[in-house]
Structure 1
Amino acid sequence: MSSLTIGIAGITGKFGRLVALKLLQNPNVNLRGYARDPSKVITSISESPRVSLFKGEAFDNASIKPFVAGANVIICAYLGADHLMIEGQKKLIDACDDAGVARYVASDWALDYTKLKLGELFPKDPMIHVKSYLETKKTTKGVHILIGSFMDPVLSPFFNIWDPQSQTLRYWGEGDEPFEGTSYENAAELTAAVAVDKSAVGIKKYLGDRKTIKEIASTFKKVYGVKPNLERLGSLEDLKTKMHALREKNSADIYSYMPLFFTYYWLNGQTFVSPETDNEQYKDVKPETWEDFLSKRTLEQLPHAYFSLAN
């Protein structure tokens, strides 16, 4: 395999760091990192002789151009407000197209947003806009990696699914709706594999595991010897009513309803990545199941799994 130069915009972020570490396991990869403060790049990345770091803001054309120039692939690991996720990515894409960069891995990952209409799951609207923008480019091809939901935050307080005090799993629906999930580490490993696959363009779907909340509860019992209580919060229609009511009541209080929107579109079947996935195409990437994910963590660590990522 000939050497590849791969750039990661947002390399100091949790997911960007993890993708960088996976890419550095490949001796044929030369890595570039773009960050507002390169001094925050962890030493296991920054001290590698195959890593070059570039300092700049998301909207700084003068800094973006040398970062993308000569790269084979650019991976965007931005996470933030819509302006960053849309206009910030457009800046990167324009620079890539001008510089002749072959492929651009968009900041997508969670859920198959291609099945959504604008406004349905509002945090995924930027991805819809960016995908359409990439389709207008002549040189740079878009790569869109869709992995179901990230496992790591699911059991954090953000989603209010796991209550560690009462050892209860809360759920909406009937309890037999599948939870499609892929861990951050597994998704980063897959992203690295896709980045070095020169033929990988367009949509790539991957899944670590697919289990109902009842099956996940049984997996808790297998891993920890403790079977959680199950608490039904209501039907999916109840969830839909509640999330819209909270948004209408106080749209500025985004964290009161955003987790509910994600949960609804995660469970209602509209954004499933299965059954057609590319798992078989990337056989070197072993799917991390819910059992694998839980086995790597104690019960006490589960609510904090997202925050401890790649630190």
Structure 2
Amino acid sequence: MTEPQASTPRRPSAEKAVIVLAGATGDLGLRIARHLAQRGATVRALVRPGNASPAVAALRELGATIIDADFNSVTALTKACAGADCVVSALSGLREVIVETQKRLLDAAVAAQVPRFIPSDYCIDYTKLPAGSNRNLDLRREFNQRLDQAPIAATSVLNGMFTDLLTGQAPVVLFGLKRVVYWGDADQPLDFTTIENTAEFTAAAALDPGTPRYLRVAGEVASIRDVQRAASAASGQPFGLLWAGSVGVLGALSKLTKALMPESDDVFPPWQGMQYLHNMFTGLPKLAPLDNARYPEIRWTSVQDVLATRPLGE
């Protein structure tokens, strides 16, 4: 296991800070809202009109101000952003959302003279990847090119893969077979951060006026061998390794899967996950240096702790 590197700690100033949060009803967004509220911030949650989901009720319980936002109107968004200290996006989607909706939100933040903007990145370091290697990350790259041209301070939070995905959604830890599958090198360092840690760090960054353009964090930097040991320790049963081929094989498989699947508006089709794993196993988007120590009050959750949450027998 590789220990996360440290950067100079900075403590956020939350007194009376007003944070506008888009995507607040999603899993990550709701967690960001909770951590902002815990830090004393005033949260304005932008919610699409008519949204009556349990997440809206949860936001109200946190003390957030619910704003029925017309995401197609820069004028309406500008009014919602007035007087805010930072706009945080946790929106999820494809081009219509990541590029177009975020662009209108950015234009509104600039028009309202909001000093800072945090886009919906929360991923591996796409700045180190070639264009065309990952559809979803290409959209983030495209939006951030627009963001860098805007007269506003921006900070992207990069956190690697959500560790939570290892409990089932990411086809890496095969619990039934007691194997950890991988492509390429089993010793390649990989970045993992839980959704909860990502939310907590993002909330701290939103309240920190001195953040740089990029903040990189990893709850744990672990190789596949480390994940194998974590799975064995978490389950109390020995896990083995399963080599599925070279990194090139995974890249070719992702392209073939994409070509064979019908077109859809699914944000995370199977081939998208394969692209993400391919990116990680190449080592290109490895996060460095890490900013884990910037907010020393955050306690990082390990891969083993996450795997231990999966009930035995599943």
Note closer, same or farther for the CA distance 1:129–1:299 as it changes in structure 2 (3 Å cut): farther
- Higher mean alpha-carbon deviation, 205-214 vs 35-44, is at 35-44
Residue 296 of structure 1 and its aligned partner are, at CA, apart by 4.2
| Structure-1 separation of matches of 2:112 and 2:28 | 25
The answer for the alignment partner of 2:82 in structure 1 is 69
> Is residue 177 of structure 1 aligned with residue 188 of structure 2?
yes
> Is residue 24 of structure 1 aligned with residue 37 of structure 2?
yes
The answer for the alignment partner of 2:10 in structure 1 is none
Match of 1:149 among 150, 154, 161: 161
1:265-284 maps to which residues of 2 (within 5 A)?
265-274=279-288, 276-284=289-297
- Higher mean alpha-carbon deviation, 254-263 vs 197-206, is at 254-263
> Is residue 46 of structure 1 aligned with residue 60 of structure 2?
yes
Q: Given that residues 167 and 306 in structure 2 are in contact (C-alpha distance below 8 angstroms), is that contact kept between their aligned partners in structure 1?
A: no
| Structure-2 separation of matches of 1:216 and 1:105 | 31
The answer for the alignment partner of 2:256 in structure 1 is 245
The answer for the alignment partner of 1:306 in structure 2 is none
Amino acid in the other structure paired with 1:269:
G
Q: Given that residues 183 and 250 in structure 2 are in contact (C-alpha distance below 8 angstroms), is that contact kept between their aligned partners in structure 1?
A: yes
Match of 2:202 among 191, 198, 201: 191
| Structure-2 separation of matches of 1:210 and 1:300 | 27
The one-character-per-residue Cα deviations of 1:17-52 (angstroms, maximum 9, x if unpaired) are: 01111111112x101000114532343421344x21
Q: Given that residues 38 and 54 in structure 1 are in contact (C-alpha distance below 8 angstroms), is that contact kept between their aligned partners in structure 2?
A: no
Instruction: Please tell me the root mean square deviation across aligned C-alpha atoms, in Å.
Output: 2.0
Amino acid in the other structure paired with 1:161:
V
The answer for the alignment partner of 1:305 in structure 2 is none
Long gaps (5+) in structure 2? 1-12
> Is residue 262 of structure 1 aligned with residue 273 of structure 2?
no
Note closer, same or farther for the CA distance 1:156–1:279 as it changes in structure 2 (3 Å cut): same
> Is residue 161 of structure 1 aligned with residue 169 of structure 2?
no
Note closer, same or farther for the CA distance 1:70–1:299 as it changes in structure 2 (3 Å cut): farther
| Structure-2 separation of matches of 1:122 and 1:48 | 35
The answer for the alignment partner of 1:88 in structure 2 is 101
Amino acid in the other structure paired with 2:61:
E
Match of 1:11 among 14, 19, 24: 24
Residue 214 of structure 1 and its aligned partner are, at CA, apart by 1.8
| Structure-1 separation of matches of 2:52 and 2:254 | 40
The answer for the alignment partner of 1:128 in structure 2 is 141
Long gaps (5+) in structure 1? 302-311
Three-state SS of the structure 2 residue aligned to 1:180 is strand
| Structure-1 separation of matches of 2:212 and 2:108 | 18
Q: Given that residues 112 and 271 in structure 1 are in contact (C-alpha distance below 8 angstroms), is that contact kept between their aligned partners in structure 2?
A: yes
Residue 11 of structure 1 and its aligned partner are, at CA, apart by 0.7
| Structure-2 separation of matches of 1:258 and 1:48 | 34
- Higher mean alpha-carbon deviation, 256-265 vs 51-60, is at 51-60
Note closer, same or farther for the CA distance 1:188–1:299 as it changes in structure 2 (3 Å cut): farther
- Identity percentage of aligned residues: 24
Q: Given that residues 54 and 63 in structure 1 are in contact (C-alpha distance below 8 angstroms), is that contact kept between their aligned partners in structure 2?
A: no
- Higher mean alpha-carbon deviation, 286-295 vs 207-216, is at 286-295
Residue 299 of structure 1 and its aligned partner are, at CA, apart by 4.0
| Structure-1 separation of matches of 2:78 and 2:160 | 33
| Structure-2 separation of matches of 1:145 and 1:213 | 24
Match of 2:234 among 223, 237, 247: 223
Q: Given that residues 86 and 130 in structure 1 are in contact (C-alpha distance below 8 angstroms), is that contact kept between their aligned partners in structure 2?
A: yes
| Structure-2 separation of matches of 1:270 and 1:154 | 21
| Structure-2 separation of matches of 1:160 and 1:290 | 15
Three-state SS of the structure 1 residue aligned to 2:214 is strand
Residue 163 of structure 1 and its aligned partner are, at CA, apart by 2.7
| Structure-2 separation of matches of 1:105 and 1:285 | 19
Residue 160 of structure 1 and its aligned partner are, at CA, apart by 2.1
| Structure-2 separation of matches of 1:257 and 1:211 | 23
Note closer, same or farther for the CA distance 1:53–1:283 as it changes in structure 2 (3 Å cut): same
| Structure-2 separation of matches of 1:219 and 1:48 | 35
Note closer, same or farther for the CA distance 1:299–1:191 as it changes in structure 2 (3 Å cut): farther
| Structure-2 separation of matches of 1:19 and 1:204 | 16
Match of 1:116 among 117, 129, 137: 129
Q: Matched residue pairs, number?
A: 296
Note closer, same or farther for the CA distance 1:30–1:212 as it changes in structure 2 (3 Å cut): same
Residue 76 of structure 1 and its aligned partner are, at CA, apart by 0.4
Amino acid in the other structure paired with 2:227:
I
TM-score between the two structures when normalised by the length of structure 1: 0.88
TM-score between the two structures when normalised by the length of structure 2: 0.88
